[in-house]
Chain A
Amino acid sequence: MDITFAQYAWFAPLFPLAAFAILTAMGRGLGRAGAWVATAASLLSFLLSLLIAIERLGGTAEDYTGRIEWLRAGSIMLHAGYEVTNLTSLMLVIVTFVALLVNLYSIGYMKDDERISVFFGYVALFTASMLGLVLADNLLTLYICWELVGVCSFLLIGFWFRKPEARAAAKKAFIVTRIGDLGLLLAILLLYWNMPNHALDFTSLYNVFHSQSDTLSASLTTLIALLIFLGAVGKSGQFPLHVWLPDAMEGPTPISALIHAATMVAAGVYLVVRTFDIFEASQAALAAVAIVGAFTAIFAAVIGLAQNDIKRVLAYSTVSQLGYMMLALGAGSTAAATFHLFTHAFFKALLFLAAGSVIHAIHTQDIREMGGLGRRMKITAWTFGIGALALSGIPPFSGFWSKDAVLAAALDESPWLFAVGVVAAFFTALYMARLFFLVFFGAPRGDAKAYAHAKKSPAVMTVPLVILAVLALLAGFVETPWNEWLGSWLSGEEEEGGINGLVVIASVGASLLGLYLGWLFYGRRSSSGNPAAEKASGLRRILERKFYVDELYELAFVRPLAALGRGLDAFDRVVVDGAVRLAGRSVQAAGKLNTRLLNGQIQAYALCALLGAVLLILAIAGRRFW
């Protein structure tokens, strides 16, 4: 089959990059038109991605790699390149599609912000870096883009930098994810030293780790896999580095949808999928991935139960769902993980954008001050409901199919993992029911004036919601137990279908139970009941404090580090600074001497030259005669 569009895949990141350049250069001059420039760029990228994906749907298209030698210095050779496979083309479509919708939505959401062109510039830069990350054909290129998306995330979380919380959250996100990035960097360095020919591209990784040859020792392989996973843990908000993701909700809501729900946080999962050959070579690493994923899934779901900020609930939900993906990876199923990533991108983006629509209408994020909004914002309520059902895993919504696939993979691996997954599914349904009923049902509890002013969001905001809702409903059918199309397409192998009754019954049962209990607590009572009446039991307090992880970090790391920092600072000021000042002073003194010599007298210049010549000759030639 001909490869037409895949060779031009590198244009996909170029469009948003160009938009970023234009917006940065012309910035304020463009004003609101800038938003359309960015949107048009993301539309172009989306169309190109769609063409590439359609081309690959033909089924037999070969993987396409384009590469240039970027730099060669001695034996050091660095490549930059891109690779189009079925997986990357799927990711391209997800990223560009969500980016397009978020761009569109932001035109409405951000219209009153005076730095709107800066915002769209950052979003365009993020889109470009994320596409670069997806397309990268080697770990180094991937790492560069990986850091770039981190920078964009930092910039966008702190977009409203006048809010101290936003500044703190941006800083936290940057520092916490850097811990993971360091792991990834170490892994890349280890690979660079140990791989034949210093190759870092995924094809070579596949060849080395798939052939079972002993190029790398087993312990080294495990170490590398764990370090890569550390990077994924940081980026994808897995325990114990999950703490930044809920705080990141200080950023504008469309950003939460794009970066902190659908795309960037999924980069960790994507990274593990890309380097899965390394993980497959190490049972220990796979087990670590599975355990961390399962624990995160249930841990974050439980915390989500007790949060009162609409976006933080969704953030913990994201952490939990990413845990599911990791769980699937640990159980050895990249197909299930990718599938869940795919459906999650749609319904979680939908939930965030719908939440943004609510926040846009009543200017608060506290669900205790909401209620009864369903009557005022019909489209938002309906689409949010669809997203919630999809997330809870109710058939036939997309989340059901993908969660089913994840749980089936977990059951194959170990009943314990499966049990944890099912319990987490129960909590998922419960917190979503709580959220939905508190926000949209019952009587308004907050500021009556705000409620009266709550109006429907404009069409640029609701149209993306509707599109995403349709996808949240339908996207699951690409892979059902009867027709594992996505999995076979991704792996290129025919996979046998088969339905596991236990999995379906357990997961649907758990979800339905969760929804029912949610309705019982919050839906039925909500006309009279006040959620503030929820008893502040000890358990609740723990949940509200998110298991005290932040406090633990404060005690265990921040304070000792701060003390160490003060010590180092003193050392720095006295010893290091002293040395630097000494060097600086001596250079300055040399400069002064030089200025004195350059007094404008050409006789002095000539004398200086003559003395120099004599000294030079004496020193160089003379040393032979001593």
Chain B
Amino acid sequence: MQALQTLTWNDTWYLAPEIVLAAFTIALALLDLSLPRRIDRDIIGWGAVLGLVTAGVFVGWHIHDLGAWEKAGESPFRNLLDGSYRVDDFGNLLKLVFLGASALIVLASLGTVKKEEVPIKGEFYYLVLPAVLGAMVMASSGDLITLFIGMELLGIASYILVGVRKSSGLSGEAAFKYVVTGGTASAFVLYGMSFLYGATGSTRLSGIAQSIGDAVEGSKALVYVAFFLMIVGFALKLALAPFHAWAPDVYQGAPTPVTSFLGVVAKAAAFAMLYRLFVNTALYAYADTAQVREDLFLALAVLAAAAMIVGVAGALRQQNAKRLLALSGVANAGILLVPLTLDITSFHSSLFSEFIYYLLAYVFMNVGAFAVLTVVSRETGSEELSGFAGLYHRAPWTAAAMTALICSLAGLPVTGGFFGKLFILFGTVQTKQYWLAAILLFTTVVSYYLYFSFIRQMFMRSGDTERQTKVPMATGLVVWICAIASVALGVLPKPILEWVDGLFSVSLDFLSR
């Protein structure tokens, strides 16, 4: 047993983004308490955006520093707290995604959240920050315990966010279901982690990596149980089929910005954790573990395939836009899982770029689509698909932006969604997982039908009213950022891929200690 290494003064610099978020949370909570009632809480929302952006700037700074170290021949990562927390390019990239997506979501919700619906608007805004903090901890952990703490921080903050529409019965039901499911998932993950600790004698990922070969030799069953329990937990968190049943209910009940947060940030964080667990533990480094590895990745691939099929099939008959997007999120989680499941032995180095590229495309198309949904539901008072009817006549610009977002969701050229799916498809073919490629193609084609129901409503149906829809400025801005980014990703896929490839390397980010 090593002596515990405590936080040093030097370390705080590496933790700057996390510290900024924590500080902003406290400051905004105090501000919310001390401000008189009559002052609109949107100011807290702007504060939250500022906090997220500030943290993002620090992350960017770290990325730059790490790059400079790498050039200078130093190892481009830092282990803090005896390796239980690590600052590396993998974590930093994902943190940028979390922060950017959250900033867009909060920005989009400014002006669209009604006081009658959310009486505690202040809390609504500043609770996003600890949730993102949790996600960031998950992305940066080097230890099972830190991972779990990050997951719980994210989870508990989001349980509250889901239930924030206090007067709505749906919201309460959603929050309850989310707490139960989230708790179950945490239990599965924790149970699995404890088995892993039992088998390897370490909670540190690097420690696990060192002794997992022996552990497999010693008690293979234990390792199987550990990983399968964790897989089930994550599948619940990620809403992969058949663990997805809660998702439509929770997404529907939650306020739309929170739905967007659950669909994008919470999912991305779970993926970050999966990568840490499955790649950092170096499961593939030993000949002994080949069989276990093969089985586990096959299980993940089966889950990905099931999610793609069930998500698309379930969404086909949905009339509620939020439930539809929730099930589309199930299918997309399946797609995002595919790169991780690809054969790691013949490691094709673009694995992570494929993932992060599609994740980026997914962030933009989802945040944008949900922002449009906020505008529409605010105007028509309904979250049904039919609320989009005749949007082209009421708000032609928003309809145009939504069309770009839908094209990205459906995976039509030239959008980020198209290239994202294409790169993942290339990956499956390269590693000869033809059955996954076939399922990816088939579900993509079927999904055209469901995404085009939006287009059909917007352009070919007439709405009840011809009155121009009012789009709040901040929301409109987010819609356009997302639409333009979705197209830009498709027009210029190369710079982004190269940037990610340049930053990330498996050996440095996951294997070096």
A587→B313 contact, CB < 8 A: yes
A605→B248 contact, CB < 8 A: no
Count A interface residues, CB 8 Å. 31
Q: Does B243 contact A (CB under 8 A)?
A: yes
Distance between Cα atoms of A71 and B312 in the complex (Å): 29
Distance between Cα atoms of A395 and B85 in the complex (Å): 87
Q: Which residues of A contact B493 (CB under 8 A)?
A: 71
Q: Which residues of A contact B423 (CB under 8 A)?
A: 73
A620→B249 contact, CB < 8 A: no
Distance between Cα atoms of A598 and B252 in the complex (Å): 13
A69→B494 contact, CB < 8 A: yes
B236→A609 contact, CB < 8 A: yes
Q: Does A501 contact B (CB under 8 A)?
A: no
Q: Does B212 contact A (CB under 8 A)?
A: no
Q: Does B302 contact A (CB under 8 A)?
A: yes
Which of A54-62, A425-433, A476-484, A610-618 contacts the other chain? Answer: A610-618
Distance between Cα atoms of A620 and B235 in the complex (Å): 16
Distance between Cα atoms of A588 and B449 in the complex (Å): 12
Against B, the Cβ 8 Å flags (1 = close, 0 = not) of A248-267 are 00000000000000000000
Which of A179-187, A532-540, A589-597 contacts the other chain? Answer: A589-597
Q: Which residues of A contact B298 (CB under 8 A)?
A: 620
Q: Which residues of A contact B231 (CB under 8 A)?
A: 616
A592→B317 contact, CB < 8 A: yes
Distance between Cα atoms of A72 and B430 in the complex (Å): 15
A73→B181 contact, CB < 8 A: no
Nearest A residue to B445, CB-CB:
A583
Report which residue of A594, A604, A613 has the largest number of chain B beta carbons within 10 angstroms of its beta carbon: A594
Instruction: Using known A-B contacts A602-B181, A620-B295, determine if residue A594 contacts B494 with beta carbons closer than 8 Å.
Output: no
Pair count A-B, CB < 8 A: 87
Q: Which residues of A contact B235 (CB under 8 A)?
A: 612-613
B313→A594 contact, CB < 8 A: yes
A598→B224 contact, CB < 8 A: no
Q: Which residues of B contact A73 (CB under 8 A)?
A: 422-423, 426
B313→A621 contact, CB < 8 A: no
B494→A70 contact, CB < 8 A: yes
Q: Does A608 contact B (CB under 8 A)?
A: yes
B242→A608 contact, CB < 8 A: yes
Which residues of chain B (222-280) have a CB below 8 Å from chain A? 224, 228, 231-232, 235-236, 241-243, 245-246, 248-249
Against A, the Cβ 8 Å flags (1 = close, 0 = not) of B426-441 are 1000100000000000
Instruction: Using known A-B contacts A594-B313, A608-B242, determine if residue A616 contacts B249 with beta carbons closer than 8 Å.
Output: no
B247 → A minimal CB distance (Å): 9
Report which residue of A587, A591, A609 has the largest number of chain B beta carbons within 10 angstroms of its beta carbon: A609
Q: Does B50 contact A (CB under 8 A)?
A: no
Q: Which residues of B contact A592 (CB under 8 A)?
A: 317
Q: Does B67 contact A (CB under 8 A)?
A: no
Which residues of chain B (317-374) have a CB below 8 Å from chain A? 317
A621→B232 contact, CB < 8 A: no
B313→A609 contact, CB < 8 A: no
Q: Which of A609, A619, A620 contacts B243 (CB under 8 A)?
A: A609
B249→A594 contact, CB < 8 A: no
Distance between Cα atoms of A502 and B309 in the complex (Å): 77
Against A, the Cβ 8 Å flags (1 = close, 0 = not) of B268-303 are 000000000000000000000001000110110011
A147 → B minimal CB distance (Å): 14
Q: Which of A69, A70, A605, A624 contacts B295 (CB under 8 A)?
A: A624
B322 → A minimal CB distance (Å): 13
B426→A602 contact, CB < 8 A: no
Q: Which residues of B contact A619 (CB under 8 A)?
A: 302
A603 → B minimal CB distance (Å): 10
Nearest B residue to A595, CB-CB:
B317
B245→A608 contact, CB < 8 A: yes
A591→B295 contact, CB < 8 A: no
A594→B228 contact, CB < 8 A: no
A597→B313 contact, CB < 8 A: no
Distance between Cα atoms of A245 and B422 in the complex (Å): 40
B507 → A minimal CB distance (Å): 22
Distance between Cα atoms of A291 and B161 in the complex (Å): 77
B232→A613 contact, CB < 8 A: yes
B314→A591 contact, CB < 8 A: yes
Distance between Cα atoms of A69 and B491 in the complex (Å): 11
Q: Which residues of A contact B184 (CB under 8 A)?
A: 606, 609
A53 → B minimal CB distance (Å): 30
How many B residues touch the partner, as a band? Answer: 35 or more
Q: Which residues of A contact B430 (CB under 8 A)?
A: 74
Against A, the Cβ 8 Å flags (1 = close, 0 = not) of B402-438 are 0000000000000000000011001000100000000
Nearest A residue to B312, CB-CB:
A587
Q: Which residues of A contact B295 (CB under 8 A)?
A: 620-621, 624
A587→B316 contact, CB < 8 A: yes
Q: Does A600 contact B (CB under 8 A)?
A: yes
Instruction: Using known A-B contacts A609-B245, A624-B291, determine if residue A598 contacts B314 with beta carbons closer than 8 Å.
Output: yes
Distance between Cα atoms of A595 and B313 in the complex (Å): 10
Report which residue of B243, B291, B303, B422 has the largest number of chain A beta carbons within 10 angstroms of its beta carbon: B243
Q: Does B120 contact A (CB under 8 A)?
A: no
Q: Which of B245, B302, B303, B309 contacts A598 (CB under 8 A)?
A: B245
Q: Does B310 contact A (CB under 8 A)?
A: yes
B242→A612 contact, CB < 8 A: yes
A74→B317 contact, CB < 8 A: no
Q: Which residues of A contact B302 (CB under 8 A)?
A: 616, 619-620
B243→A600 contact, CB < 8 A: no
A488 → B minimal CB distance (Å): 41
Q: Does B393 contact A (CB under 8 A)?
A: no
Q: Which residues of B contact A588 (CB under 8 A)?
A: 316-317
Distance between Cα atoms of A609 and B229 in the complex (Å): 12
A621→B242 contact, CB < 8 A: no
Distance between Cα atoms of A434 and B122 in the complex (Å): 85
Against B, the Cβ 8 Å flags (1 = close, 0 = not) of A69-87 are 1111110000000000000
Q: Does B177 contact A (CB under 8 A)?
A: yes
Report which residue of B295, B314, B423, B493 has the largest number of chain A beta carbons within 10 angstroms of its beta carbon: B314
Distance between Cα atoms of A609 and B247 in the complex (Å): 12
Report which residue of B184, B303, B316 has the largest number of chain A beta carbons within 10 angstroms of its beta carbon: B316
Distance between Cα atoms of A71 and B414 in the complex (Å): 12
Distance between Cα atoms of A71 and B245 in the complex (Å): 39
Q: Which residues of B contact A604 (CB under 8 A)?
A: 245
Nearest B residue to A77, CB-CB:
B494
B402 → A minimal CB distance (Å): 15
Q: Which residues of B contact A620 (CB under 8 A)?
A: 228, 295-296, 298-299, 302
Q: Does B26 contact A (CB under 8 A)?
A: no
Distance between Cα atoms of A60 and B475 in the complex (Å): 55
Nearest B residue to A586, CB-CB:
B313
Q: Which of A72, A74, A612, A621 contacts B494 (CB under 8 A)?
A: A72
Distance between Cα atoms of A463 and B313 in the complex (Å): 63
Distance between Cα atoms of A474 and B466 in the complex (Å): 58
Instruction: Using known A-B contacts A71-B493, A594-B313, A595-B314, determine if residue A611 contacts B242 with beta carbons closer than 8 Å.
Output: yes
Q: Which residues of B contact A621 (CB under 8 A)?
A: 224, 228, 295
Q: Does B488 contact A (CB under 8 A)?
A: no
Against A, the Cβ 8 Å flags (1 = close, 0 = not) of B14-56 are 0000000000000000000000000000000000000000000
Q: Does B81 contact A (CB under 8 A)?
A: no
Known: A590-B314, A597-B245, A609-B236. 18 other contacts (CB 8 A): A590-B313, A591-B316, A592-B317, A594-B310, A598-B248, A602-B181, A606-B184, A608-B242, A608-B243, A609-B184, A612-B242, A613-B232, A613-B243, A616-B299, A617-B228, A620-B295, A620-B298, A624-B295
- The 20 sampled A-B contact pairs (Cβ below 8 Å) are A69-B494, A71-B494, A73-B422, A587-B316, A588-B317, A590-B309, A590-B310, A590-B314, A591-B315, A598-B314, A608-B243, A608-B245, A609-B232, A609-B242, A613-B232, A619-B302, A620-B295, A620-B296, A620-B298, A621-B224
In the complex, the 10 A-B pairs of residues with the closest C-beta atoms, listed nearest first: A612-B242, A605-B245, A594-B314, A590-B313, A591-B316, A613-B232, A591-B317, A620-B299, A609-B243, A591-B313
Question: Which residues of A are at the interface with B, using a C-beta cutoff of 8 A?
Answer: 69-74, 587-588, 590-592, 594-595, 597-598, 600, 602, 604-606, 608-609, 611-613, 616-617, 619-621, 624
